[in-house]
A and B are shown apart, each in its own frame.
Chain A
């Protein structure tokens, strides 16, 4: 009797998971398919025909392209800065006594805890107070502070994970502390640093909360442009933009996962 119940419950579990999976995938399918809809008006799902019209509109729209350009620039520069700051901080942390280190780690990882809205709002207020009104710089700063925790955490994990005996071997073979670090430790942490940088890039491209506060009329990111479109003019060019973003980001993330394992970044091991 228990046996039958077991089997029934197992099947029920499979069905449940299948339903959940469908729930998770379905909206994405809707969005992707609708991006290729041939109708010129916003019709209901499923789409009719197949067309690239929305993509043409997306790539030819001045507002979207401006946002895309800004997004890419901001992401690239802020990621680069974030990587440098992250590696620097990680190296400094590895050398610090554990008391001070815990406190420092808490500070450096705090942007992960502080709601991004609060960060965006606080930065806006602060920049206005000190008189920084250049939109691009503001965006850059905002993106740096929200991505740095990831580069620090991932680089730190990499440095800590190198067995002590390897760096000691380098020392015993005649390398000075600095040369041992440069020729042995750093190369071994390379994968981590690389993965952390790409993750920071993806995170920056995706950000809405901070960017909404720090964007201005002439400087805004792609997600900000899309939000604006979603609230005002509701046509399927947004779907095309969405598909575009999706392809870019998923490719990058899967690349990191192949090389490195995204679980470690998200769950923070």
Chain B
């Protein structure tokens, strides 16, 4: 028989015992739904974790420091220290080199300095931090008051909420106002650049900034920070300030940095977390200290794999129960339809036709169960997300997506349901095919 005729007959047969077949199909659907719901939860949580982490910039970043900084004084006997590759200053040249490495998106220094801000005629002491452009997408600025910097070198400032409250308890009223940043600029002692004695002079300077926003917390900006910044300004602006930083004095003492400002640390961001390892090795080979959080993300992936596996096993148990349902239904159908099988055989159906008919019936039940199951599973995932978000909203936290049903899960679940159903139909189908037509026709 042709497949189309076979399918037509199978669907017709299934429709005939609609209640029993629907219940069986529902059994498959519930099995598939629990499988899909559990896996979608696993996938969703994993996606949530990875997207949060990659947004934070922790897992695609390499933190570079000069070798000497990492070792610090007294890190091992002098003999081993001498054997280390020559330490290079973390200066503009090094930054350029990093920038030219393949897969590097951006290289930026950590600029933080403690200084005084005048607002409304009153002085406030605070920590200023430079924000790279990429921090906009870190998630920390989602749901902020006001807006992010209009450009990379705008004279604008975003206040950290606690600090903003010091300036004015009504933080919303701050947006659009100006403040004055008073800072100490580093100037070379010898303007001609003949940097003989080392050291620098510090000149007080002022800069007017417009407050454009208030944010809850400073985005996690990696290592090397000294306390979190409370006044955030564009990184490019911070760099032009050439403000004296905490490390400056130490640098002068150590290698007589002089005019060329060396960075205390640089953050190198690469395209994806998977590229971190290779880039990190290259930077180390160039003679710098480098560090990343890659290992942490690796163990996270292992955790989620195990998590998915466990959820999958529980889901499969539900599907196994559904499989028994299919076998039962089809075996019952053979008893009930002995006569029909006999008629089909008398009319010239080969054993194979009968077998295929039962097989297709099982497959159709599996397909329908799979489709409905994916739908149910997706709904379960949606409602879990909805419930979670309701809870988060009550806690004044932004919503999250905790379940995800990617296309491979849809296709996989339906395929799995059909496959399991076909396997369940194997025994009933071959039993039906072997039925002796004479006996089957005699059956009343």
Does chain A bind chain B? no
Footprint of A on B, CB under 8 Å? none
Footprint of B on A, CB under 8 Å? none
